[in-house]
Amino acid sequence: MHRRTWTALMLSALTSATFAQSYPNKPIQLVVPFAPGGTTDIIARTIADPLSKALGQPVVVVNKAGGGGVVGATETARAVPDGYSLGVATVSTTAANPAINPKIAYNPLTDFSPIINVAATPNIIAVHPSFPAKDYKGFVAEVKKSPGKYSYSSSGTGGIGHLQMELYKNLAGLFITHIPYRGAGPALNDTVAGQVPMIFDNLPSAMPFLRENRLVPIVVAAPQRIPSLPNVPTFKEVGLEPVNRMAYYGIYGPKGLPKEVIDKVNAGVRKALEDPAVRKRIEDTGSFIVGNSPEQFSEQIKAEFDTYKRVVTQQKLTLD
What CATH number is attached to the domain comprising 256? 3.40.190.150
Same domain, 94 and 133: no
Q: List pLDDT tens digits, range 86-110.
A: 999 999 999 999 999 989 999 999 9
Q: What are the beta bridge partners of residue 153?
A: 179, 199
CA distances from 46 to 11, 39, 83, 106 (A): 39, 10, 20, 27
Residues 108 and 128 in one domain: no
Are residues 238 and 147 located together in one domain of the fold?
yes
Total domains in the chain come to 2
Final residue before a domain boundary, out of 243, 270, 292: 243
Do 116 and 251 have their domain in common? Answer: yes
The model's pTM: 0.81
Tell me: do 215 and 268 sit in the same domain: no
Task: With a cut of 90, say whether residue 38 has pLDDT above it.
Answer: no
Same domain, 238 and 128: yes
Q: 239 is in which domain, residue-wise?
A: 123-243
**Which of 191, 213, 243 is the last residue in one of the domains?**
243
Q: For Cα atoms 272, 277, 280, give the angle at the middle one, nearest 5 degrees.
A: 105
**Are both 115 and 252 inside the same structural domain?**
yes
Residue 98 within a domain: yes
The per-residue pLDDT for range 106-155, each reduced to its tens digit, is 999 999 999 999 999 999 999 999 999 999 999 999 999 999 999 999 98
Name residue 37's amino acid: G
Please provide residue 79's backbone torsions phi and psi, each rounded to the nearest 5 degrees.
-70, 155
pLDDT on residue 19: 55
Does 232 share its domain with 289?
A: no
- Residue 320 inside a domain? The answer is no
The residue out of 243, 268, 297 marking a domain boundary is 243
Query: Do 108 and 127 reside in the same domain of the chain?
Result: no
User: What tens digit of pLDDT does each residue of 175-219 get?
Assistant: 999 998 877 888 999 999 999 999 999 898 898 899 999 999 999
